[in-house]
Amino acid sequence: MESIASQILHDEQRAGEQRLARARLAVLAFCFFINFIYLIFVPEKEFDTHLRTAAAFGLGLLYSLLWLIYIHTITYRRYHRYASSAIDFTFIVGFNILWSMYSGHTDLSAQLKLTSGYIALLVLIVLTGVRFDYRTVRFVTLLSAIFYGLYIYYGFRFTNHTLTLDWNTSLEEPRVFSTIDLFARWLGLVVAGSLMSFILRRVDRLLQKSVFESIKNQQLKQYVSHNVAGEIEAGRGNLDLTGQRKRVAVLFCDIQGFTALSEELSPEDLLTMLNRYYEFMVDVIFRHEGTLDKYIGDGVMALFGAPRDLENPALSALSCAIAMLQALKELNAKFSYGLSIGVGIHVDQVVVGNLGTETYKNYTAVGRGVNIASRIESLTRETAQPILFSEAVAADTKEYIVPRLAGRYPLKGISESFALYTIDPARLAGLAGKK
pLDDT at 164: 45
Pairwise CA distance, residues 170 & 174, whole Å = 10
What is the band of 53 on the pLDDT scale with cuts at 50, 70, 90? confident
Give the SS3 label for residue 9. helix
**Which distant-in-sequence residues (6+ apart) come within 8 Å of 241 by Cβ?**
307, 353, 354, 363
pLDDT at 431: 47
**Which distant-in-sequence residues (6+ apart) come within 8 Å of 165 by Cβ?**
107, 109, 110, 113, 155, 156, 174, 175, 176, 177
Which residues are registered as beta bridge partners of 419? Answer: 408
pLDDT at 173: 44
pLDDT at 188: 87
pLDDT at 203: 81
8-state DSSP, 168 = S
Pairwise CA distance, residues 421 & 343, whole Å = 12
Task: Break the chain down into helix, strand, coil percent, rounded to 5.
Answer: 60, 15, 20
Pairwise CA distance, residues 153 & 146, whole Å = 11
The residue-averaged pLDDT of 266-279 equals 94
Task: Read off the pLDDT of residues 166-209 as tens digits, 9 standing for 90 and up.
Answer: 434 333 444 445 566 677 878 888 999 999 899 888 887 877 77
The residue-averaged pLDDT of 290-295 equals 90
pLDDT-wise least confident of 24-38, 66-80, 237-251, 311-325 = 237-251
Q: The whole model's pTM is what? A: 0.55
- Give 374: exposed, middle or buried? Use CB within 10 Å, 0-12, 13-18, 19+: buried
Pairwise CA distance, residues 113 & 165, whole Å = 8
